[in-house]
Amino acid sequence: MAKPIIMPKFGFTQEESTIVQWLKKEGDRVEKGDPIVEVTTDKINMEVEAPADGILGGIRYQEGETVPVTEVIAYILAEGEEAPEPEEKVAAAAPPAPAAKEAPPVAERRAVSATPVAQRIAEAKGVDLAAVPGSGPGGKITREDVERYLAERGAPPEDGKRRATPAARRVAREHGIDLSTVPGSGPRGRVQEADVLAAVERLAVEAPAPPPAPAGISAGPVVIPLEGMRKTIAERMQTSAQQAPHIMFTLDVDMSEAIAFREYANQRIAEGQPRISMTAVLVKACAWALRQHPMVNSHFDGERILVQNEVNIGVAVALEEGLIVPVVHQADQKGLMQIGAEVADLARRAREGRLRPDDLTGGTFTISNLGMFGVDHFTAIINPPEVAILAVGRIAKRFVPDENDQPVARPMMTITLSADHRVLDGAMAAGFLATLRQALEMPSTILL
């Protein structure tokens, strides 16, 4: 029996992914677990694996097409088995009315198979799909077929749908390059990053220098479309800020013992291994505090509070495209050494674009640390469906009173908890912060 290959859902709010490249072709024999297609979301590129042994067939979407999550994109077939017919078979036209003498007989009309994207473009452009030759499996009409049909008749293809890699699209956006003007050197004319960079260089040579703006008149703004990761962040943060009543709590932590503890732990790490960062210490301390205050380790779905059994801590990582939050799963059950290595690995793979789906899902609490940028104090917006987020500032020497009320310079760090007031009251949030400060100021007795 044919086993469907489903476009997976990698994130809580993800609705669609784009097919980057088919790693196997129609008719290839594959084994369970073989990577068969690379897809991209607004955050990461991922490989989708074969769900079973068999033959790849019934490919429904081509490279560059955007597919809703949970949609069937292909099948794994047994020897000699045929793929199921797509549900989206459409009639090319309604049967002609009896009075319309010029209409062809019903027998001459044919039902055609087309991808959803091809159907959408055809409908928007007024194209009769019965007149479009299909190049897909079993004569299925793809987006490229419709665009080719339009191009032959002098109509432009649908805007923004030129076949291009995600990196090529990013560079094109940054430099204001129209991808339809860039010759593609990749498979089937796909535009590569190098093609766009070459176009940028040509424009730099060919374009005349712009005339200077008249005195007192400034140049116009650079328009950056809100799309991809930036659009997702904007939508999620707007939703959180509008729906979750944020309440903030701030306190200062003496980091003297935490610094000494981290230095001691780093001395025990083998040469060549990643050093333990202060973020790793924070993850371990937060995991310990969350176990003492389980309500902070909750999700809220608008109607119910879901207290999570696992302590999965997200660590915000800044990328050029925006913010991404990989997750340290079951952080309360891991030692500091393991957390340190995992945090370093997640941050590295995030910057390389090599995170896996499970690296980005399941978070129950988030840490956003801007101390390395010299920020003393800030507040963060909660990452739904979580109910709290910790904002961490830099460690800096400040004068504080000692046990004899004498001023003494200590390495102090300001932390701010943003809490969803629908779930957490002031006493709950303050109690969590007090426990967290205890863990950071006395780490040797708690974090080992």
Active site residue ranges = 421
DSSP state of 57: E
Please, what is the angle between helix 336-352 and helix 256-267, to 10°? 90
The single-letter code of the amino acid at 360 is: L
**Cα end-to-end distance, the chain, whole Å:** 53
**Distance between alpha carbon 24 and the CA centroid of its chain, in Å?**
24
Tokens of 173: 């956006």
Q: Is the dihedral of CA 400, 402, 404, 407 positive or negative?
A: negative
In angstroms, the Cα distances linking 415 to 141, 175, 208, 419 are 57, 39, 52, 13
Is the bond preceding residue 385 a cis peptide, omega within 30 degrees? Answer: yes
- Interatomic CA distance for residues 289 and 329, integer angstroms: 15
- Contact between 401 and 378 under an 8 Å Cβ cutoff? The reply is no
- Contact between 11 and 235 under an 8 Å Cβ cutoff? The reply is no
Q: Which pairing describes strands 323-324 and 72-77: parallel, antiparallel, or unpaired?
A: unpaired
**Residue 26: how many other CB atoms lie within 10 Å:** 15
**Residue 244: how many other CB atoms lie within 10 Å:** 21
b/e string for 400-438 if b means 16 or more Cβ within 10 A?
eeeeeeeeeebbbbbbbbbbbeebbeeeebebbbebbbb
In angstroms, the Cα distances linking 384 to 283, 300, 302, 396 are 19, 8, 10, 31
Q: Is 208 left (phi over 0), alpha (psi -120 to 50) or beta?
A: beta
Greatest C-alpha distance within the chain? 104
